[in-house]
Amino acid sequence: MKQYTVAILGATGAVGTQMVQCLEEQNFPVGKLKLLASARSAGKKVAFAGGEVEIEEARPEAFEGCDIVLGAVDDDIAREMLPKAVEAGAVVVDNSHAFRLDPDVPLVVPEINAEDISWHHGIIANPNCATIIGLVPTWPLHKVAGVTRMIVSTYQAASGAGAPGMAELEAQIAAMGRGEAIPEPRAFAAQLVSNLIPQIGGFKEEGYTSEEMKLQNEGRKIMHLPELRVNCTCVRVPVLRSHSESVTLEFERDITLEEAREALAAAPGVKLVDDREAASAHDRYPMPIDTSDQDLIWVGRLRRDISNPNTARGITFWCCGDQIRKGAATNAVQIAKLLTK
C-alpha cells in the first residue's frame, strides 16, 4: 500500500489533536506525519503510531514534500497558509470556514457526496460541525422522500469554541462546585455553566447568526439542493463536546415512520436509538453523555410533525454527535482516505 506524507496545520488545538488520533484509529497509510503549529509549540513531541513526532513551526516551506494537508486553524490563517500547501503539491482538507462556499472548492460529507472530491482543485472543505451532525441523518430520509425544508434548533457544546471553550466551562463548573465566584467569560459571550447562550457567531441578515446560516448555505451545497429552505436557531449549552439537534423535515413525497426508521437504521454513520419503552434513558434516545468520544450520529425521538398540514410529509427527530470527532476531525480524515483510493 502506498504511504503518504501527511501534515496537520494547527496540530495542537482540539481538532488538530483529534486528527492525530483519528489518523491512527483509521489506519491511515501515513508514511511520515508532520505536525505544524505556532513557534511556541515547536519542539514539543506528540505520540503517534508507537513513536513520537516533533512539532514544527508552521511555515510555507514546511509543506514541501507533503501529499495531504489537514487544516485545523482559523479562517485567516487558513486563507494565508493553505494555498501555499497547494502550491507545494499537496491536497488540502480544510476544517475552517474560509473555503466552504467557494464554488471551486468541494464541500464534503463522505456519507452524502463523496463523489464531489473528484473535481477538487487542491482544496476540499470540511463542513461546519452542526451541519455535518444534522445532515448525516437527514440525507437518508431525503433519499426516500425529498427534503424541501428544515427547521432546526442546535444545542452546541463548549468544544465548538475549541480547547479554550472547554477549559472555560470546566473552570466554571469547578468554581461552582467549590462555592467560589464564577470566572469571567472569555471564550463565550456570557457565563456558560448553569446557562444557555442563544447566540453562536455574529448577527447577520434578518437577525440570524453566521452559525445559523451555515446549515442552509452549506446544506444546499453538500446535498445539491439549491432551493433548500432552513430555519435554524443555534444555542450554546453547558456540555463539553457533543452537539445535539432537534430537526424537523418537510418532504416532497409522503414518508411513513416505518420507512424513516428503516432508512436511518441502514444509513452509514448513523445509529438509531429510539425505544420509548426501554428501561434505561440511555436506550430510549440519544444524549451527549453517550455520544461523546465516538464517530456515529445517534438519532431518536422519531415522530410525525403534527404542525405540518400534510402530516404524511413531516418528520421530526433528535440527534447527537461528537463535535470534535465526526463534526470535524473524523470527517476530515474520512475525506483524506477517499483521496488515497
Residue that the C-alpha cell 482543485 belongs to: 121
C-alpha cell at 329: 476531525
Active site residue 121: no
Cα 336 to Cα 92: distance, rounded to the nearest angstrom: 9
Of these residues, 142, 243, 319, 320, which one is catalytic?
Answer: 243
Between the alpha carbon of residue 264 and those of residues 122, 254, 321, 327, the distances in Å are 33, 16, 15, 18
CA distance linking residue 33 with residue 55, whole number of Å: 10
Distance from C-alpha of 116 to C-alpha of 126, rounded to nearest angstrom? 12
Q: Are 138 and 247 in contact (CB under 8 A)?
A: yes
Where does the chain have alpha helices with state H?
A: 14-25, 75-87, 110-113, 129-145, 162-178, 210-223, 257-266, 281-284, 288-291, 330-339
CA distance 76 to 74: 6
Backbone angles phi, psi at 223, to 5 degrees: -90, 0
Q: Residue holding cell 427527530?
A: 317
Give catalytic status of residue 243 as yes or no.
yes
Q: Which residues of 11-20 are buried (b: 16+ CB within 10 A; e: fewer)?
A: bbbbbbbbbb
CA torsion sign for 188, 190, 191, 197 is: negative
Could you say which of 22, 97, 120, 129 is catalytic? 129
Give the residue numbers marked as catalytic.
Answer: 129, 243
